[in-house]
Amino acid sequence: MKKNPPLWLSLIPLVILMVMLVSVVLAFGSDSLSGASQIALLVASASCITLGLLFKTMKWSDFEYEINRHIGDLGQAILILLLIGAVAGSWMISGVVPTMIYYGMQIISPQWFLVSTCVICAIVSVMTGSSWTTVATIGIALLGIGKAQGFHEGWIAGAIISGAYFGDKMSPLSDTTVLAASTTNTPLFEHIRYMLYTTVPAFILTIIIFVFMGMNHGGELSNQIGDFSRGLSQVFRITPWLLLVPVVTLLMIIRRLPAIIILFLATLMACITAIFVQINLVDEIAGGDAGSLMNRFRGVMILLYGSTSLDTGVPELNSLVATRGMSGMMGTIWLILCAMTFGASMKASGMLRSIMHIFVSFTQKTFSIVASTAGVGFFSTVVCADQYLGIILTGNMFRDIYKQRGYESRLLSRTIEDSVTVTSALIPWSTCGMTQSMVLGVSTFVYFPFCFFNYLSPLMTLLLAALGYKIKRCVKPSASTETA
């Protein structure tokens, strides 16, 4: 095994990255993820590789191996991202999302909107096992309803993401849940049951916060709801029959079809619906010869891959119904590739291993071992910009340590989920953070303070570790590892 590089050397690329990211945010503000942050990640990657080669902690072939493996593992995620862009465009222009917004504004009371949003997203995410699918479908509709009811977009996105990641974490269909259990050799449903001790209290506290804020939300914005309703009905043909598309999508989810198949079929259904129900919008998007077959084919292609904008007569609604299609996801993919490059360079050079070794050195008492696990999990997700890598790295690093100290594997798997899965959406350059930000059109920095569940979960893990609640040792540790 290669010798770890010194800590001071390992921290240099991180310092460079932090300084550049802070400078980018100060210079570009909310537009910082449009390209400048990607360059910052590449510069930090270059500095890491240069230091690794100069100090002989890596070979160029090591980096080639890691970058091929990191980016190779992203193939399915990139395809899902492109399909999410297609779903967003087709569901909007076909009238599916506008119909959900139209009826949702009439059904969901403003006072109960935030808590309803959180619970609905939690239920859908438990059934789908995917926070990404939940946010890209029902989440977009709920965002429109919330804006019409006068809620700040940060609060709406926070409720959507809180619910979506509760379901993602607790669903037996979730790939992160299965990965955390399998990486730590923990039976899946034992892992899920053990997470209830931290997840349920965190979710209850989140619900209480959203109930309190919703009850204090005034109902004086009924005029805006009326404007939104009129704007939607003037541009789109609103009919309950359009709700068949999300219903069929839900049935596919219940049948546990793969996410790629679900998203593809959901897009196909929406395209067919657009041709039969919103054909005037398809013609408008295509431009040119209205009514010709090729022109309508052009319109369908554009709504799938390109940007669309419609005039509803309500400026706030115009921005909501605008779509970016598959091309709108390219910025996300660009950022993910740059983040993966930085993660690969840190791993190939041994610098990531050197930094995480510091966390491991603090694993003495129950609280310190859980806190160190959570710290490594969050840190590795920040550096690698990917929750899957964070789960795998943390699980592999601590699996033997937990076993030696006599702790149950389910404690490790729960801590990993609490520190990696739910916090990944809070990191702007991570696959999750960038995806949710782009899909909802709300900056990570804007929704971060309102994702209560996402940072209450790791705090709840630390609290239970400090109290020692429901934490058992499966074997008595040896004298050399006995804690004080």
Residue 63 has pLDDT above 70, yes or no: yes
Higher pLDDT among residues 213 and 332, named by residue: 213
Average pLDDT over residues 145-154: 84
Return the pLDDT at 17: 82
Return the pLDDT at 461: 92
Residue 205 has pLDDT above 90, yes or no: yes
Q: How far is CA 214 from CA 6, 109, 145, 165, 450, in A?
A: 51, 9, 14, 21, 13
Average pLDDT over residues 400-413: 84
Average pLDDT over residues 260-285: 88
Average pLDDT over residues 72-90: 78
Residue 202 has pLDDT above 90, yes or no: yes
Residue 209 has pLDDT above 90, yes or no: yes
Residue 456 has pLDDT above 90, yes or no: yes
Residue 214 has pLDDT above 60, yes or no: yes
SS3 252: helix
Average pLDDT over residues 367-383: 84
Q: Which residues contact 442 (CB under 8 A, 6 or more apart)?
A: 143, 153, 154, 156, 157
Q: How many angstroms from the chain centroid is the CA of residue 88? A: 16
Alpha carbons 233 and 314: distance in angstroms, whole number:
12
Return the pLDDT at 474: 63
Average pLDDT over residues 283-297: 78
Average pLDDT over residues 403-425: 87
Backbone angles phi, psi at 308, to 5 degrees: -130, 150
Q: Which residues contact 463 (CB under 8 A, 6 or more apart)?
A: none
Average pLDDT over residues 24-45: 77
Condensed to tens digits (0 to 9), the pLDDT of residues 84-131 reads: 788 878 888 888 888 877 787 777 777 888 988 898 888 778 766 678
Please report which confidence band the pLDDT of residue 32 belongs to, taking 50, 70 and 90 as the band edges: low
Return the pLDDT at 125: 80
The C-alpha angle 429, 424, 18, rounded to 5 degrees, equals 40
Q: How far is CA 454 from CA 175, 374, 419, in A?
A: 18, 13, 9
Residue 200 has pLDDT above 80, yes or no: yes
Mean pLDDT, the chain, as a whole number?
Answer: 81
Least confident of 39-43, 266-270, 388-392: 388-392
Return the pLDDT at 29: 63
Return the pLDDT at 96: 86
Return the pLDDT at 30: 57
Return the pLDDT at 362: 66
Average pLDDT over residues 188-199: 87
According to DSSP, the residues that pair with 473 across neighbouring strands are 407
Higher pLDDT among residues 350 and 339, named by residue: 350
Average pLDDT over residues 364-383: 83
Q: What is the pTM of this model?
A: 0.68
Average pLDDT over residues 357-382: 80
Average pLDDT over residues 259-273: 88
Contact 363, 318 (CB under 8 A): no
Please report which confidence band the pLDDT of residue 173 belongs to, taking 50, 70 and 90 as the band edges: low
Please report which confidence band the pLDDT of residue 479 belongs to, taking 50, 70 and 90 as the band edges: very low
Return the pLDDT at 482: 40
The C-alpha angle 324, 328, 331, rounded to 5 degrees, equals 160
Average pLDDT over residues 282-294: 77
Residue 484 has pLDDT above 50, yes or no: no
Q: Which residues contact 334 (CB under 8 A, 6 or more apart)?
A: 35, 38
Residue 483 has pLDDT above 50, yes or no: no
Q: Please state, for a pLDDT cut of 90, what percent of the chain lies above it.
A: 14
Least confident of 181-185, 384-388, 424-428: 384-388
